[in-house]
């Protein structure tokens, strides 16, 4: 049991480090799209993998710590509010689909839902900061991009989870 | 990928279509649209979309945005923000369209004159 706990802690810390680096790499290559907020969401892969390997608690932990760390390291606290808003919504949506995992919903569905809600959360935070609902005109594009990137990261997670499962058990 | 995953994607697409329809239905091209500029969440200036002008916004922190209004189109032509998303956004010319510069907290919005009258009454 102790052995198992140590294993989980080490894996979670490593995933945490991967999430931070993925977030950094992603910020180096902004996608050439004229709509704010569209990105691949590679660091969401880590929350997703943590959710399917260790459960909701670990997924939330990874997301919150990742947001705080990347905000302190690279972008500043005001962006932490944005990311937290999007991140919490995304993880909640993922957990919802995760609880339905025996009812025909796979990790891809969770990833897509996470992608959509991540973008919706960012947009809500933006409308609060800017004091206007004008930003919601981007909403349809952000949903579609959330679906596309969510599918991509979902398929990726689908490959990672079974491989990591052999390590933890 | 399982059957119900397609369902999630479909619901998302329906949401996108509904949102898109909501914002585009109201977009017409009237002759009296206004350009409303917000800075830090507050109303900065209101201008006519059909009078050519260059607006330069600079705040105490040195954040600069330059907006050009020309031929019935409003465009962010320069900004010293990091991501340049606002500069890459296409020029806005229909009601409800907007250009947003999140780092510098600048929003440029096109509003129909009718909308302003309704707002004035309801306030």
Residues in B touching A108 (Cβ below 8 Å)? 1-2, 5
pLDDT of res. A169: 67
Neighbours of A76 (CB within 10 A): 9
| Interface membership of A74 toward B (CB under 8 Å) | no
| Strands B73-79, B42-48: pairing kind | unpaired
Q: Is residue A134 pLDDT above 80, yes or no?
A: no
| Residue B120 pLDDT > 70 | no
Beta-carbon separation of B8 and A113 below 8 A? yes
A141: nearest CA partner in chain B? B16
**Quick check: A103 and B4 CB within 8 A?**
yes
Residue B72's domain spans which residues?
Answer: 30-122
Say what the pLDDT of residue B102 is.
Answer: 84
Residue B39 lies in a domain: yes
Mean pLDDT of B37-47: 88
- The confidence score (pLDDT) of residue A31 equals 62
Domain ranges in chain A are 2-30+39-168
How many angstroms away from the CA of B82 is the closest CA of chain A? 11
At residue A30, what are phi and psi to the nearest 5 degrees? -65, 135
Q: A37-51, A125-139, B50-64, B98-112: which has the minimum mean pLDDT?
A: A125-139
What total of structural domains would you count in chain B? 1
**Inside any domain, residue B1:** no
Q: Using DSSP bridges, classify how beta strands B64-70 and B73-79 pair: parallel, antiparallel or unpaired.
A: antiparallel
Residue B10 lies in a domain: no
Mean pLDDT score across all residues of chain A: 84
Interface check for A106 against chain B (CB to CB < 8 A): the answer is yes
Q: What is the ipTM of this complex?
A: 0.72
**What pLDDT is recorded for position B123?**
35
Is B10 in CB contact (< 8 Å) with chain A? no
B98 domain-assigned: yes
pLDDT digits (tens, 9 = 90+) for B22-32: 776 655 555 67
Return the CATH number at B73.
2.60.320.10
Give the tokens for residue A124. 């809500």
Q: Higher pLDDT residue, B90 or A79?
A: B90
Distance CA B66, CA A149 (A): 32
- How big is chain B, counted in residues? 123
Q: Which residue of A has its CA nearest to B91?
A: A34
Q: What is the CATH number of domain A2-30+39-168?
A: 1.10.1760.20
pLDDT above 70 (res A72): yes
For residue A131, the chain B residue with the least C-alpha distance is B41
Is residue B117 assigned to a domain? Answer: yes
Min Cα distance A1 → chain B (Å) is 33
For A130-143, what is the mean pLDDT? 77
Contacts of A146 in chain B (CB under 8 A): 12
Partner-chain contact B85 A35, CB within 8 Å: yes
Q: How many CB atoms are closer than 10 A to CB B54?
A: 11
């Amino acid at each position: 049991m102790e052995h198992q706990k140590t294993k989980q802690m080490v894996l979670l810390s490593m995933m945490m480090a991967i999430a931070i680096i993925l977030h950094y790499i992603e910020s180096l290559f902004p996608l050439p799209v004229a709509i704010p907020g569209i990105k691949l969401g590679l660091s969401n892969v880590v929350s997703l993998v943590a959710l399917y390997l260790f459960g909701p608690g670990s997924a939330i932990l990874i997301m919150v710590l990742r947001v705080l760390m990347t905000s302190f390291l690279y972008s500043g606290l005001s962006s932490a509010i944005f990311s937290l808003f999007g991140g919490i919504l995304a993880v909640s949506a993922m957990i919802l689909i995760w609880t339905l995992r025996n009812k025909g919903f796979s990790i891809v569905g969770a990833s897509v839902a996470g992608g959509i809600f991540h973008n919706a959360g960012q947009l809500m935070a933006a409308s609060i900061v800017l004091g206007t609902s004008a930003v919601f005109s981007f909403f349809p594009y952000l949903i579609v991009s959330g679906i596309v990137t969510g599918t991509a990261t979902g398929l990726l997670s689908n490959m990672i989870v079974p491989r990591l499962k052999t390590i933890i058990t | 990928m399982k059957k119900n995953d397609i369902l999630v994607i479909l619901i998302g697409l329906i949401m996108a279509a509904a949102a898109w329809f909501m914002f585009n239905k109201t977009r017409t091209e009237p002759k009296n649209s206004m350009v409303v500029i917000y800075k830090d969440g507050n109303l900065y200036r209101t201008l006519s979309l059909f009078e050519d002008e260059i607006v330069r916004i600079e705040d105490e922190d040195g954040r600069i945005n330059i907006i050009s209004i020309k031929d019935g189109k409003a465009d962010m032509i320069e900004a010293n923000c990091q991501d340049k998303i606002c500069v890459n956004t296409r020029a806005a010319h229909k009601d409800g369209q907007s250009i947003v510069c999140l780092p510098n907290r600048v929003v440029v919005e096109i509003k129909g004159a009718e909308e302003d009258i309704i707002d004035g009454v309801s306030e």
